[in-house]
Amino acid sequence: MAAFITRTSHILAMEPNKLHKFSDNGFLPKIPERLTSIGGLRSDIIKRFGSPISTESLIKPDIQDPGLSYEYVTWKYDGITITTSTPLPSKSIKYWIEKIVLYGEDYLLLFGLRIGESKSKFVKELGSPSKEINNTLYYDNVYYRRHVNLTINFDKNERAKEIIWIYGIGH
């Protein structure tokens, strides 16, 4: 009987809750799923967010495999910065989102959350954070389809001023 309860609990734990959904893809409309999982195209980013104000490219070696490098492209928009990566050398033209930094109020998010919203509403919707330090909520190593670290920074009035999604384990 105990094995059945454990297994059932495990299955129930795999159902995505609000934190999983928000961490995985909290935007409305959603970011194309392939950009956060199997890899997407530059055109996917432009289709969802429009043409960036600017982009910056940086090539860095992989931490674990010195023979492999990654191109990181940072897409800068009004109110949001998106960093993508692609392995080099590669014949692939796929890009994965590595990091999103949201600081503009114009972006719609799941569950009525957005920049400027109260800390209490974030905790009510997403649950208790892994830790809270200096008016910042940390939701560490949230896993639904891939690992995500979610950080929400608040101003002195406890209103969200920045939300950071870091996807995967990094390179």
Checking phi first, is residue 158 left (phi over 0); if not, alpha (psi -120 to 50) or beta? Answer: left
pLDDT attached to residue 2: 39
HEC profile for 79-118? CEEEEEEEEECCCCCCEEEEEEEECCCCCEEHHHCCCCCE
What residues pair up with 151 in beta bridges, in sequence order?
A: 138, 164
Contacts of residue 32, defined as CB under 8 A and 6 or more positions apart, other chains included, come to 40, 44, 47, 48
pLDDT for 5: 33
Closest CA to 104 of 95, 112, 116, 92: 116
Calculate the CA 91 to chain-centre distance: 26
Asked if residues 163 and 102 have their Cβ atoms less than 8 Å apart, the reply is yes
35, 93 in Cβ contact below 8 A?
Answer: no
pLDDT score recorded for residue 7: 32
pLDDT for the residue numbered 168: 76
Residue ranges for the chain with pLDDT beneath 50: 1-13, 170-171
Question: Kind and range of the H or E element at 75?
Answer: strand 69-77
pLDDT at 68 (0 to 100): 85
Residue 14 has a pLDDT of: 56
Lookup: tokens for 16: 């995505």
In this prediction the pTM is 0.85
Q: How far is CA 129 from CA 69, 124, 142, 154, 160, in A?
A: 34, 11, 10, 14, 14
